[in-house]
A = this chain, B = another copy of it.
Amino acid sequence: MKKKESGHSELKHHFASDNYAGICNEAWAAMAEANRGMASSYGDDYWTAEACEKIRELFETDCEVFFVFNGTAANSLALASLCQSYHSIVCHEMAHIETDECGASEFFSNGTKVLLVPGENGKIDLDAVEHTIHKRTDIHYPKPKALSITQATELGTLYSVQELQAIGELAKKHSLRVHMDGARFANAVASLNVAPKEISWQAGVDVLTFGGTKNGFAIGEAVVFFNKELAFEFDYRCKQAGQLASKMRFLTAPWIGMLESGAWLKNAAHANNCARLLESEIRKIPQVRVMFPSQANSVFLEMAPEALEALRGRGWHFYTFIGSGGARFMCSWDTDTAEVANLVADIKASVA
C-alpha cells in the first residue's frame, strides 16, 4: 500500500507522455457495458461489427477496419501489407516507426528497409523524398514502395490539408502507397478542425493507424484501410502475428462509446488546449524558447540545462530532447489545467 502511494506520488507533476494517463470514463463505461454475459470471440461479436460501422461513418466512406493491441503492431502490420521484404519505406528521420518501435517494421515484413528523410518541424521534405526514391533504381537496393507519415508528428506539429494533398500527389506520381501513423490522429482532427476524411483518404492515404490508447482507451488501435484491396487477408496477417484478441469486444466496445459520445474529439481537444495554454504562457518567458509550433498536444521548449535540472528538482517529469537544452512536455486527456499553471510558475522560478 505504501509502495502504491509512492507509486502514485512519483506521478504527480507529470508531463512526460500521454500514455501515462489512464482510461477515460466513456471508454470505461463502454467496457462495462460490453462485459454483460458471454460474447463470441475473435471479433465475431456485436461490438466489433458496430465499431467498424462507427469508424466507416466517421470517415464517410466504405473502408476495411481491423483492431490490434498497440501502435507498434498497427504500424508494422499495415506496412507489411504494403511491402515485400525487398521493398523500402520512406519516412521522416524522427518517425516513430524508425525511432521507437525497435525495428518492428523490419521484423513484421521480414526485412523491409526504412529510408529516412529530413524535414522541418518533423514533417517530411518532399524534395528529400523525391531524391530518396530516385537515388537508387537498381536491384541492389530496396525498392521504395511505401511512404509513411505521422499525423500529428512526433514534434507536436501538423501537416495541413494542403501539405497532405501534395504528399498524396507525390506518392501517386511515384506509385508509392501511403501509410499514416495516426497514434494522435484525433489531436490532428481537433486542432485542424477538419473532417477526418480530409486528412486521410481524400488526401491519398491508403491505410491509417488510428490511435486509441493515447486518446483514453485502455488498449488498442484501429487499422483502417481506405484502399480495400490492400486489406486482402489482413485478418490472417493479424492472427499469425499474435494480434487477434479473443475477447475482442473489450478492444472494440470503447470505439463505440468514444465515437458515439464524441469523447474521442473532446479528449483530444482538451489535450491540445492544455498544450496551447502552456505554450502561450511560456512564450512570455524570455529565457525559454519554444522549439516548434505547438499544434497538437505537446510543447517542446529550450532553456538552460541548469534550469531544466532545477525544474526536475521541483518534481516535474518530462522528456529531454535532442541533447542538452531541449525538453518535451506532453499533455493528455487527463491533464489538469491547474497543473499547467503550476508548471509555468515553476519554469519561471527555475529560469530566474
Contacts and interface: CB of A to CB of B under 8 A. Distances in A.
B41 A17 contact: yes
- Stoichiometry, as copies per complex, reads 4
Given A20-B39, A246-B70, A86 B101 contact: no
Contacts of A41: 17, 19-20
Interface of A: 3-4, 6-8, 10-11, 14, 16-17, 19-23, 28, 31, 34-42, 45-47, 50, 68-73, 76-77, 84-88, 99-104, 106-108, 110-113, 139-143, 213-214, 218-219, 233, 235-237, 239-247, 250-251, 332, 334
A38 B22 contact: yes
Contacts of A3: 46, 50
Given A4-B46, A236-B86, A242 B104 contact: yes
Given A11-B37, A23-B35, A219-B250, 14 more contacts: A6-B46, A20-B39, A21-B38, A22-B35, A69-B69, A69-B242, A69-B245, A71-B246, A85-B106, A86-B237, A106-B113, A107-B240, A139-B239, A219-B247
Interface of A is mostly: loop
A220 to B, nearest CB: 9
B140 A100 contact: yes
A281 to B, nearest CB: 21
Contact of A242 (B14, B70, B88, B334): B70
